[in-house]
Amino acid sequence: MTRAIITVVGKDTVGIIAKVCTYLADNQINILDISQTIVQEYFNMMMIVDLTKSVKAFNQLSDELATLGEDTGVQVKCQLEDIFDKMHRI
Amino acid sequence: MINLQEVIETNKMIEQENLDVRTITMGINLLDCADKDLSVTCEKIYTKITTLARDLVKTGEEISKEFGIPIVNKRISITPISLVGSACCCTPGDYVQIAMTLDKAAKEVGVNFLGGYSAIVSKGMTKSDELLIRSIPMAMARTERICSSINVGSTKTGINMDAVRLMGDIIKQTAEETKDVDSLGCAKLVVLCNAPDDNPFMAGAFHGVSEADAIINVGVSGPGVVKYALEQIPDANFELLCETIKRTAFKITRVGQLVAQEASRRLGVPFGIIDLSLAPTPAIGDSVADILKCIGVEHPGAPGTTAALALLNDQVKKGGVMASSYVGGLSGAFIPVSEDQGMIDAVEAGALTIEKLEAMTCVCSVGLDMIAIPGDTPATTIAGIIADESAIGMVNQKTTAVRIIPVVGKTVGDTVEFGGLLGYAPIMPVNTFSSQRFVDRGGRIPAPIHSFKN
């Protein structure tokens, strides 16, 4: 299973999660976990997703998510989970 | 499962604290390219580099994108060229031909530096070594991306003072040959003692003869991350201070280990080592000097600086070693002047001198690095500086190096601009008393005794 972490950071607005989730559903990407918090008035959301059945390649997903974020005025990043696992787990 | 706080912490390191992987360096053995015909040698070198490193830059960019971590440089290190060219090079000009071939190969594969225009002359110089050394000024003037390094001593062999003396002249000539660009050639030329075979950092990178045919070495960085962590504990005692550096170094190095393993897997080239380094850049906040200030000295150079650097260096290694399966290269904190805004500030404030930098090199990685000095500094004085630095390395069983730039036409009070990662530097004053009689003696300084440690 290829897992990635999608982070959404920005000013809180209506429908951010809906837009990202719709995009993921359209591309056969399963969401395994969602959590969110507000840090210094900024909306921080993280999703752990499974890319195994994704209909698009990683690069395209990452670029399209970033564009979707820009259109909504938030920053959307998609990174493979390994970088977080390696840094925070022994 | 990873939680949100951990994700935020990692991304903050990358976005706000300049965490990056400084370099993926592919080491390439060129011994099998040697031929008695110069043009055949050049052709084989070009083919081997452009074949093995064809996908290096692309792979680095893919890894960077997928993990969301910047990988600043993609580079190549090669077998010391004095070994590869010994059968076919009869003049310094022949070596310059090889340098130009290497430059062309570096541009073809898209790496920003290629290191290994080198000779290992710690005990003696072969004819070939000497020809290569004498070709350096011309080679540095005619190429853009080639880095040169000469190893003039080691703990086991002592110091080759003939080579040290010669390098004083070569550095001056290189400055002269590249005077139109503020003697930039000297920024790509380093003189080492105890040079490691697997160093991924320029200008001292080469692919030693103890290495496999090709290898991936990775240099990590992240002084900004350590600085941020220390800013959160301004009044901590040494126990907590050291623990915090160690923990941060562990996290930084784990990212390097991940990138190295991925690069190795995707390129089909074995993973060599991680170089556990704190490598500064001229960017604000990406400074080793700033860490020293956080530890508690007003400017690097103030009394206490050497001790602060010693503990920093040691904790980086202690944290990093556990995070990586293989450690090598230079591993430690780098203290270049022109590449670190905090160091530049310290020089301009009058806090930091070459003599204090020399003391600092006793306890950290490498040595006198990226220091601009007056253009009229005699070659014998430069040789004297190299001899001092080599002696520190030889006696303390560590790598030391000298990368100084005698900037033609400039003197104390002037500033020199190298641009990019090489930064800018104020010209530092050099002790003006003569070293001539000492360096002109000729011969070698014998290897030190390894007992009676006092």
Q: Do A44 and B251 touch (CB under 8 A)?
A: no
Picking from B19, B58, B66, B69 by the largest number of A CB atoms within 10 A of its own CB, the best residue to mutate is: B66
Q: Do B10 and A85 touch (CB under 8 A)?
A: no
Instruction: Identify the pLDDT of residue A4.
Output: 96
What gap in Å lies between CA A3 and CA A58, rounded to an integer? Answer: 11
Q: Do A59 and B69 touch (CB under 8 A)?
A: no
How far from B230 is each of B8, B294, B361, CA to CA, in Å?
18, 6, 23
Q: How confident is the model at residue A17 (pLDDT cuts 50, 70, 90)?
A: confident
Whether chain B has a CB inside 8 Å of the CB on A83: the answer is yes
Closest-CA residue of chain B to A79: B67
| Closest listed residue to residue B435, CA positions, set B250, B165, B183 | B165
What gap in Å lies between CA B426 and CA B424, rounded to an integer? Answer: 7
Number of continuous H segments (helices) and E segments (strands) in chain B: 15, 15
Instruction: Identify the pLDDT of residue A1.
Output: 75
What gap in Å lies between CA B116 and CA A90, rounded to an integer? Answer: 36
Per-residue pLDDT of chain B (454 residues; tens, 9 = 90+): 889 999 999 999 999 888 999 999 999 999 999 999 999 999 999 999 999 999 999 999 999 999 999 999 999 999 999 999 999 999 999 999 999 999 999 999 999 999 999 999 999 999 999 999 999 999 999 999 999 999 999 999 999 999 999 999 999 999 999 999 999 999 999 999 999 999 999 999 999 999 999 999 999 988 999 999 999 999 999 999 999 999 999 999 999 999 999 999 999 999 999 999 898 988 888 899 999 999 999 999 999 999 999 999 999 999 999 999 999 999 989 999 999 999 999 999 999 999 999 999 999 878 899 999 999 999 999 999 999 999 999 999 999 999 999 999 999 999 999 887 788 899 999 999 999 999 999 999 999 998 887 6
Q: Do B11 and A86 touch (CB under 8 A)?
A: no
What gap in Å lies between CA B316 and CA B433, rounded to an integer? Answer: 38
Between chain A and chain B, how many beta carbons pairs sit less than 8 Å apart? 61
What gap in Å lies between CA B430 and CA B354, rounded to an integer? Answer: 7
The β-bridge partners of A9 are A44, A75
How far from B126 is each of A27, B89, B209, B321, CA to CA, in Å?
64, 12, 16, 37
Closest-CA residue of chain B to A34: B4
Q: Do A80 and B66 touch (CB under 8 A)?
A: yes
- Chain A, 17 to 46: residues with Cβ < 8 Å from chain B are 33, 35-37, 39, 44, 46
Per-domain residue ranges for chain A?
Answer: 3-88
Whether chain B has a CB inside 8 Å of the CB on A81: the answer is yes
Closest-CA residue of chain B to A86: B254
Instruction: Identify the pLDDT of residue B296.
Output: 96
B203 prior amide bond cis, ω within 30: yes
Tell me the pTM.
Answer: 0.93
Instruction: Identify the pLDDT of residue B440.
Output: 97
Between A34 and A13, whose confidence is greater? Answer: A34
Query: Helix/strand/coil (H, E, C) string of B53-92?
Result: CCCHHHHHHHHHHHHCCCEEEEEEEECCHHHHCCCCCCCH
Q: Which tokens sit at B316?
A: 């980086």
Q: Do A88 and B10 touch (CB under 8 A)?
A: yes
CATH numbers and ranges of domains, chain B: 214-370+400-445 (3.20.70.20)
- Domain A3-88 sits in CATH at 3.30.70.260
Q: Do B3 and A35 touch (CB under 8 A)?
A: yes
The β-bridge partners of B114 are B76, B146
Q: Which of A48, A58, A62 sits opposite B1 (nearest CB)?
A: A48
What distance in Å separates residue A67's CA from the closest CA in chain B?
Answer: 15
Q: Cα-Cα-Cα-Cα dihedral of B224, B225, B227, B233, to 10°? A: 160
Q: Which of B3, B8, B67 sits opposite A83 (nearest CB)?
A: B67
Among left, alpha and beta (phi > 0; psi -120 to 50; other), residue A55 is alpha
Residue recorded with tokens 């004819």: B127
Whether chain B has a CB inside 8 Å of the CB on A7: the answer is yes
CB B228 within 8 A of CB B10: no
Instruction: Identify the pLDDT of residue B388.
Output: 97
Q: Which of A37, A44, A83 sits opposite B255 (nearest CB)?
A: A83
- pLDDT digit string (tens) for A25-84? 999 999 999 998 887 778 899 999 999 999 999 999 999 999 999 988 899 999 999 999
